[in-house]
A and B are shown apart, each in its own frame.
Chain A
Amino acid sequence: MENTNKSLKVNIGGVMLKNPIVTASGTFGFGKEYGEYFELSRLGAICVKGLTLTPRPGNPPPRIAETASGILNSVGLQNPGVEAFVKHELPHILKHDTKVIANIAGNTLEEYCHMAQIISDSATDLVEMNISCPNVKQGGVAFGTDAEMVYNITHEVKKYCKQPLIVKLSPNVTDITQIAKAAESGGADALSLINTLLGMRIDIHTKKPILANNVGGLSGPAIKPVAVRMVWQVASAVKIPIIGMGGIMTGSDAIEFMLAGASAVAVGTANFSDPLACVRILEEVESYLDKYEITDINDIVGKVAVHRK
């Protein structure tokens, strides 16, 4: 039975998304290309390609390799820089009735602060701070893997951020709850997880790695169980909302993340196999709500019925 009164609205750090479907940074560009496949206002939010202070050319190709139920990528943060984003890309996204999340990545604390400041003066709705990109030699991984550094950087960047600040966590750490708590105490308004897991593939005939960068980030269904587990652990460690991601291909996957404790979900790799993945997943989430006569999507967040040990 279809329930027309159900509410799909979710609150991420004070910003209301019309539904919990967000695009995962780096898989959706600035929305232009997928905007030819569906109306972007169907989305809860668009999280744009990772931005850096100055333009970055990215890594040499090949930048992608297929793995069992996943892909490895080493794009290396190719982007036009944060100022070009605000000037040339943002106006196009603002034509659609959806929220905009600017994903930023820096090499130094100063760079992060400077970017947050530039974005503060724009019509961006939320800032997502990527402290977890495995592709950048300096910074990147170092920021995201040390709790004290995560606290410091969050605390500092928050001062420059007019918008709510999301901190995006790396799975390449020993205890993700420590990092999550550090971000929360540093002042993060929300968390997103997980970024890609560092991986490698070797062509046994040429004996060379397939990626020109040798290693890259693993995404797709292969990482989903790890991502769900981390969302669940982090959800019980912090009070701020979570955007869950990692291998979401269907509405069922999205529901799984929400039961584990995510208030919203991001769809990344799925866009490559199905350019309409985001809208399909949204519709599948809606039919789950209809099936179980759930009127408010927030009622399922964190409702996993864990076995008592």
Chain B
Amino acid sequence: MYKQTYLCEIVEKKQLAPEIIDMTIKSKELAADALPGQFLNIRCGDGCSTILRRPISICDVDPAADTLRFIFQVKGSGTQFLEAKQCGDTLDIMGPLGSPFHLLEKVDGDVILLGGGIGVFPLFLLAKSIYEKGVKPTAYLGFRSADLVVMEAEFKQYTKDVKVSTDDGSYGMHGYATAYLINHIKNKKVGLVYACGPEPMLRQVQSICHENKVRCQLSLEQRMGCGIGACLVCACKIKKQEGFAYQHVCKDGPVFWSEDVVFGGE
């Protein structure tokens, strides 16, 4: 059986916050295979004047209903194209792509999910998957401001605890979600951290986990071409015995073990 691109009908569309759109699409094939941390590569135009597909994480999946959900922030032309789509319209999607979060059979200590901004969305399917294995993770979610805070109640269903921070202090703790992580590590044994968000946040998570010898998986972002590992544009630095080697976010990632990731110079 060859892989293909799927034309998927949009069955639900909601605006969760300013410029944050929640979309559900129908696809038996995509829903059957989707794992937490994987992404969809969605055509956002005619494929000719706008060539590149946009990578968007899988936020939730319902295999019984053959549906898949993703949430995106409207940024440029591609996400504007998506925003303009309505229920009943179809999207041309490749997926599920990338290597998922690793779920460990046994974790010695608490499991923490740390999300920043759009990095919060892929953690939802992860929370559900961990919960279904009989473990309740703790979620620390960071947003820019109160109006952008989403999914707090949804995360509560599958976690021990959810705490929210905002950069401007307009909701929850004033500051970055990483402060919750530092605090948690101080008070309790943490077995595993999963993090997704902007690079400065991931760098911080990496150094916190390194200092405290806590295992951690990071989900990275990079600009993509093919989305399947053929064009080598989505490079990220991964540690080797001497120095580093470039691996590729679309295929080797987006999820990597934190100790393997080398963040760039700038």
Contacts and interface: CB of A to CB of B under 8 A. Distances in A.
Given A39-B2, A273-B51, A276-B5, A61 B234 contact: yes
A273 B52 contact: yes
A137 B75 CA distance: 35
B103 interface: no
B235 A63 contact: yes
The listed residue with most A CB atoms (<10 A of its CB), out of B3, B231, B246, B265, is B231
B235 A60 contact: yes
A209 interface: no
A49 interface: yes
B52 A71 contact: yes
A36 B2 contact: yes
A57 B225 CA distance: 18
A37 B53 contact: no
A75 B52 CA distance: 16
B3 A57 contact: no
Interface stretch (A21-29, A86-94, A171-179): A21-29
B4 A61 contact: no
A209 to B, nearest CB: 12
Given A62-B223, A273-B48, A73 B235 contact: no
Given A69-B49, A275-B228, A63 B2 contact: no
Given A27-B226, A29-B230, A73-B225, A61 B48 contact: no
Contact of B48 (A59, A64, A73, A221): A221
Nearest to A249: B48
A69 to B, nearest CB: 5
A38 B228 CA distance: 14
B111 interface: no
A269 B51 contact: yes
A218 to B, nearest CB: 12
Nearest to A73: B233
A109 B223 CA distance: 34
Contact of B235 (A26, A38, A61, A70): A61
Nearest to A23: B230
The listed residue with most A CB atoms (<10 A of its CB), out of B48, B50, B52, B94, is B48
Given A39-B2, A275-B94, A66 B231 contact: no
A271 interface: yes
A2 interface: no
Contact of B43 (A58, A64, A221, A273): A273
A272 B3 contact: no
Given A49-B232, A57-B245, A61-B234, A273 B223 contact: no
A69 B51 contact: yes
A37 B4 contact: yes
Interface string B25-59: 00000000000000000010001111111000000
Interface string B229-266: 11111111000000001100001000000000000110
Interface string A31-51: 011101111000000000100
Q: What is the predominant secondary structure among interface residues of chain B facing chain A? A: loop
Given A73-B233, A75-B231, A66 B5 contact: no
Interface string B211-228: 000000000001111111
Q: What is the predominant secondary structure among interface residues of chain A facing chain B? A: loop
A33 B264 contact: no
Given A75-B232, A276-B4, A271 B226 contact: yes
B229 A33 contact: yes
A57 B245 CA distance: 7
B224 A64 contact: yes
Contacts of A63: 223, 232-235
A221 B232 CA distance: 21
Contact of A249 (B4, B47, B227, B234): B47
B51 A29 contact: no
Nearest to B249: A61
Contacts of B52: 64, 66, 71, 272-273
Interface string B190-208: 0000000000000000000
B228 A71 contact: no
15 contacts: A29-B230, A29-B232, A33-B226, A39-B2, A59-B235, A61-B222, A62-B223, A63-B232, A66-B51, A73-B231, A75-B233, A271-B230, A272-B227, A275-B5, A275-B228
Interface of B: 2-5, 43, 47-53, 94, 222-236, 245-246, 251, 264-265
Given A73-B233, A274-B47, A276-B5, 8 more contacts: A59-B235, A60-B264, A61-B236, A71-B51, A78-B235, A249-B47, A271-B231, A275-B3
Interface of A: 26-29, 32-34, 36-39, 49, 57-66, 68-71, 73, 75, 78, 220-221, 249, 269, 271-276
